[in-house]
């Protein structure tokens, strides 16, 4: 069996300083590969260094939408960094109306730039959306997004259907295991098996039964087990198709092979 954590932050405090242990825990739970996500210029340097060091770790390049004062990448810079052999996606990027208020033209421009870079580089875009569902879908459509994933899904079935209609994938994090997440759970049953990914968003949002603890990539197994129960499937079935979906979306990642 093979699982992949499609979204984690290995460079963040709590994981970076114990990385060898984190990677050992991954292996023990059959989590064979992980995607380390960039959220800033500094974090890109950090996650790309981790990806260069470990053959089963890959990374992305992007600027998170939560800080207006973040130093930007130009479209050309994003495209240039996307040529790195271990860079397999653009983001995370998107819209966040929960943490950010007022005139958000800067956030829309950042999102548009990332989608343009994704389209130009041929890589998928990793989409963060919070309290911004309608505008997120509008921009994804207007910018002719060619491939991508709604990460850490927190919306409902109508949003998922619209995203699926645009050709995007849906990634479920530990949120789906929470008791107060019936809409996410209904969506996890609704999304077709050829469009689902699983992730941790570590070090955040640890799934039940680890809720309240610091999250790490090995815990993606708990999320996959929960999704399997929701859908009336086995863990092995969910592991198989979420892994296949990951490779179909992130085409630069080679299939894992046992040493």
Q: Tell me how far apart the alpha carbons of residues 127 and 65 are, in angstroms, rounded to a whole number.
A: 10
Q: Residue 194: which domain range?
A: 3-249
- Nearest CA to 61 among 52, 259, 42? 42
The pTM (predicted TM-score) of the whole model is 0.97
7 assigned to a ligand binding site: yes
On whether 222 is known to bind a ligand per the annotation, the reply is no
In a domain, 259, yes or no: no
How distant, in Å, are the alpha carbons of 25, 71, 115, 205 from that of 39? 24, 11, 15, 17
Read off the CATH number of the domain in which 183 is found.
3.20.20.140
In whole angstroms, what is the distance from residue 237 CA to residue 224 CA?
10
* 92 known member of a binding site: yes
255 assigned to some structural domain: no
> What is the number of structural domains in the chain?
1
Q: What is the pLDDT along the chain (259 residues), one digit of tens a residue?
A: 999 999 999 999 999 999 999 999 999 999 999 999 999 999 999 999 999 999 999 999 999 998 888 999 999 999 999 999 999 999 999 999 876 677 788 899 999 999 999 999 999 999 999 999 999 999 999 999 999 999 999 999 999 999 999 999 999 999 999 999 999 999 999 999 999 999 999 999 999 999 999 999 999 999 999 999 999 999 999 999 999 999 999 999 999 986 5
In a domain? residue 115: yes
9 annotated to a ligand binding site: yes
């Amino acid at each position: 069996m093979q699982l992949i954590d499609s979204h984690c932050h290995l460079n963040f405090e709590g994981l970076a300083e114990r990385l060898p242990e984190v990677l050992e825990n991954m292996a023990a739970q059959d989590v064979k590969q992980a995607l380390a996500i960039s959220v800033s210029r500094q974090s890109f340097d950090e996650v790309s260094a981790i990806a260069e060091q470990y053959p089963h770790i890959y990374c992305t390049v992007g600027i998170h939408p939560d800080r207006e004062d973040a130093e930007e990448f130009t479209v050309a810079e994003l495209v240039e960094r996307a040529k790195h052999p271990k860079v397999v996606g653009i983001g995370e990027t998107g819209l966040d109306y929960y943490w950010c208020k007022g005139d958000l033209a800067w956030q829309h421009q950042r999102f548009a730039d990332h989608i343009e870079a994704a389209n130009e580089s041929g890589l998928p875009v990793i989409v963060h959306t919070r309290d911004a569902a309608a505008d997120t879908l509008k921009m994804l459509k207007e910018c002719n997004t060619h491939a991508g994933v709604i990460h850490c899904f927190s919306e409902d079935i109508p949003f998922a259907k619209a995203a699926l209609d645009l050709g995007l994938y849906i990634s479920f994090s530990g949120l789906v295991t929470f008791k107060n997440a019936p809409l996410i759970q209904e969506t996890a049953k609704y999304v077709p098996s050829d469009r689902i990914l699983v992730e941790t968003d570590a070090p955040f949002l640890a799934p039940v039964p680890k809720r309240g603890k610091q999250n790490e990539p090995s815990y993606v197994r708990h999320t996959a087990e929960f999704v399997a129960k929701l859908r009336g499937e086995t863990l092995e079935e969910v592991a198989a198709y979420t892994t296949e979906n990951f490779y179909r979306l992130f085409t630069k990642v080679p299939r894992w092979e046992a040493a």
